[in-house]
Structure formats: structure tokens, C-alpha cells
Structure 1
Amino acid sequence: MIQALMLSFQSLSDRRIAAVMVKVVLLTIISFLALGVGLSFALQWLFTWFHVDDGGFWSGLLSVAIIVLSGALLFRLVTVAITWIFADDIIDAVEDQFYPQHAAFGKRPSFGAGIEMAMKSIVRVAGYNLLALPLYLLLLFTGVGTAIAFLLINALLLGRDLEDMLIARHGKSNGAINKLPRLMLGLLGTAGMLVPFVNLLVPVLATAMAIHLVHAGDTSL
């Protein structure tokens, strides 16, 4: 796992990866700002509709909870979408740089197949997190319970997404990641999404790590 992480940072030296990184960062910032503006208007409408805009303790607590949870979920959805948009470009560049023997046999999925997998991933992330929303809210009073639950659920989902990208190209026998390394990869990626500035690099670094885990056979932690 550590080797895969170090190699993923080394991948950033490749001009193709650097170009993708710039696109990912710009698109992430623009998308999240747009979603943030939309969320602000939605919250104002919601509080007016339910008459909880009294400035009291409970309305304030509810505002903080909604902003934190929605922000984390929206960023997660933005990251999923952007990762799928640039996944093939990232895989091409990393495999050409480190694993040309695998690049020669990998089959890039069609545009339609990529869109279908991306939509399934986005629906899966939104669905599971919305189902877990009551749990997130309930665990807010524990201090750390919500963060732990969010990390675990989204780590499982992110690990699966990254594995699916490689299976789509190399098949299950050559693209699958062992369960524990896949979970650790998902945890690192999901935790990275919660760190300002680092979260902008997650789509590229997590995808590169998945490639190194599969092709370098790095299943150690």
C-alpha cells in the first residue's frame, strides 16, 4: 500500500498526468462552487418552508449539520463524476509510464459503457449515503461517530469504483483488487477528500494507486 502511494505521487511527474491534474482541479473547484451556491439557496428555501429560520439553537444546529453532511456528500459526488470522466486518461498515462506490458493488452471501454458505469456509481454513492443519513444525524451527538460511519461507507464505495474502472479495462482476473487493500485504498481516498486542497488531488492519486496495486501486486499495508 505504501509503495502504491509513493508510486502514485511519482506518477505526477508525467506531463500527461500533470495535464489531467490541472483539468481535475479546475473542474472540481468550478463544480463545487456551483453546487455550493445551489445548496445555499436550497437551505434558505427549506428553512422558510418548515419555518425553522428563527435563529435559535436547533435551527442553527440543523444548519451546521446539513451544511457539513451535504458538503461532504456533494464533494463525494463531484469526485466520483470527475474520476470517471478522466479515469481512462489517467489509466492510459500511468500504464504507459510504468506498465507498458499491461497497457498493450488493456481494452479501453467504450464511451457508452463508461457513462453507464459512471451513472451507476453516482446513483450508488447518493443512494447509500442518503440511506445512511439518519445514522449520520444520530451519530452527530457522539462527536466522531458520523465521521467514522461516513468514512467506512464511502471507503467501501470508492474502493469498488476504482476496482470497477480497472476490471472494465482488464477483466476481473487482471483488474480485481484484494478486499483488504481495496478497503484501505477507499479509506485513504475518502479521508483525503475531507482534507482541504488534498481533496483536489484525490481523483488522480486514488486512481493511480489502484493501478499500482493491481499491476505491481502490492497487497501489503
Structure 2
Amino acid sequence: MNAVLTALGKGLAQLGDKVVARLLVKTALITLLVFLVLGAGAYFALTAGFATSGIEASGLAGAVAAVLVTGLAFWFLFRVVALAVLQFFADEIVIAVEERHYPQAARTARKLPFRRDLANSLNGAGRALLYNALAAPFALVLVFTAIGPAIVFLIVNAILLGRELTDMAWLRHCGEPPDFKPAPNPVPKVQRVMLGAVIAAIMVVPLANFLGAILGAAAGTHLVHRSIQNGARRETAETMHNA
């Protein structure tokens, strides 16, 4: 737990950096744009559907329905969309953290190609949608408990976010030859889940939700480098022991 809190503290301290602040604004604007486009599409589709059904004042009905649909989509899909957008620009936040705290690692890291950034973004969004869809029946079963569904989705998103937020940094250092599968993420699963749980909780809070993704990416970068350094120390100790 101490490692996660330390990583979050370092990430929080860097939110004022110009690069990080610029990425925060860019991520927020693109995420909002996605939902605005969704809302416009829902409005035109619903208005056309109501008009075809002969419903009077189809324009007003479509507008009201579109607002409701977009509002629900924003509530349930915000984490998916915001994280997908952030993953697309993951290099920027990771580089900012590495240049400030891990300059040597920043020099040896590789920049992911556009196709890989796009693939990571789409794969992450796909996993989030799939896992949340699979969790939905369990949440419905527990709906009578009031807090049950929230706990189910918190657990699912903690697992998902923990992986995605640490992969953003790890994929820059694990290598990617054409015939090589990237090595497993070195951050312990417990730390990943704990980080994911904190960020998932933050992303539920209005206004703070945009900060959550950026803070999580910064903290995930610290956890990755901490794990890399611990692994290097273990290898050195084993080498000296076997010598």
C-alpha cells in the first residue's frame, strides 16, 4: 500500500507541470467532444425514429431522449472513453514523469508508433466494455442491496485500470521485436488493483474524474519504474550470491 500511496503522491505533485496540465485539458476536451458527437447522433437518430412512428413534437422528444441517453452514456462509459483517449497520448504523460524522476530511463525508452498507440487505445476500450458487460448481470442481481452494483463495478474497473495505467509506461521499456511478445507487466497485481481502485473511485466524482486518469497514468509510471529498479537489485544480489 505504501508504494501505491507514494506513487500517487508523486503523481499529484506533478499535476501542475505545463506538459501534464496541457494533456489534462486535451484529454478532457476530446472526451467531451466524443460525448457531444454521441449526443448529436442520438438526437438525429431518435428524432427520425419518433417521426417515423408518427409521434408529435418528434424534435422535442428526440432532444429529451438524446439528453437522457447521452447522460447515461457519460455516467457509465466515461472511464472507458477517457482512458482510451489518454492511452492514445500515453507517451506524453509517461515522458513527463520519466524526464523529471527517471532521466536515464527516459533516454533509453522507445516511442510507441502511431499504430501501437491506436491499438492500445482500442484494445483497452474493448476490454473495459467487455468486462463491464460481463459484470452487469452480477450487478443486477445485487441491485436490491443498493451498494452491491457499485462494489461490483469498482472491483472490475480496479482490475482493468490497474493494468492499463501501468502498461502505458511498461510498454515503452519491455521491447517489441516483430516476433516477440512483450514481457509480463512487472508491477505486482496487488499494487495494480489498489491503484486501479483509487483511480476508479476518483473517476466517479464529478470534475475530479478528468484528473483521475492523468493522476493514475503518472502514478502507474512510478510503480513501473519502482518494480524495474527492484528487479534489477534482485538480479544484482543473486549474481553476487552465485559468484
Considering the TM-score relative to the shorter chain, is it more than 0.5? yes
Moved over 6 A (4+): 40-47, 66-69
Matched with 1:78 is 81
- Establish whether residue 13 from structure 1 lines up as the match of residue 9 from structure 2: no
SS at match of 2:108: coil
Deviations 1:97-139 (A, max 9, x none): 1110111111122111221222111111111111222222222
Alpha-carbon distance in structure 1 between the residues aligned to 2:47 and 2:141:
23
Matched with 1:109 is 112
1:113-192 → structure 2 map (5 Å cutoff): 113-171=116-174, 176-192=186-202
- Between Structure 1 and Structure 2, how many residues are aligned? 204
Matched to 2:194, the amino acid is M
SS at match of 2:172: helix
Alpha-carbon distance in structure 2 between the residues aligned to 1:193 and 1:135:
22
Matched to 1:10, the amino acid is A
Q: Give structure 1 stretches of 5+ with no counterpart.
A: 48-65
8 Å CA contact 2:166–2:223 kept in 1: the answer is no
Deviates further, 90-99 or 68-77: 68-77
- Establish whether residue 196 from structure 1 lines up as the match of residue 199 from structure 2: no
Deviation at 1:34, TM superposition (A): 3.5
Deviations 1:156-184 (A, max 9, x none): 01111122222211116696211111001
Kindly tell me: are residues 77 and 45 of structure 1, through their superposed partners in 2, closer, same or farther at Cα, counting changes over 3 Å? Answer: farther
Matched with 1:206 is 216
Alpha-carbon distance in structure 2 between the residues aligned to 1:126 and 1:45:
28
Deviation at 1:71, TM superposition (A): 3.7
Kindly tell me: are residues 12 and 67 of structure 1, through their superposed partners in 2, closer, same or farther at Cα, counting changes over 3 Å? Answer: closer
Alpha-carbon distance in structure 2 between the residues aligned to 1:161 and 1:90:
14
Structure whose CA Rg is larger: 2
Deviations 1:62-101 (A, max 9, x none): xxxx888744331122112111122111111111111101
Alpha-carbon distance in structure 2 between the residues aligned to 1:139 and 1:92:
42
Q: Which has the higher contact order (CA 8 A, sep 6+)?
A: 1
Identity %: 39
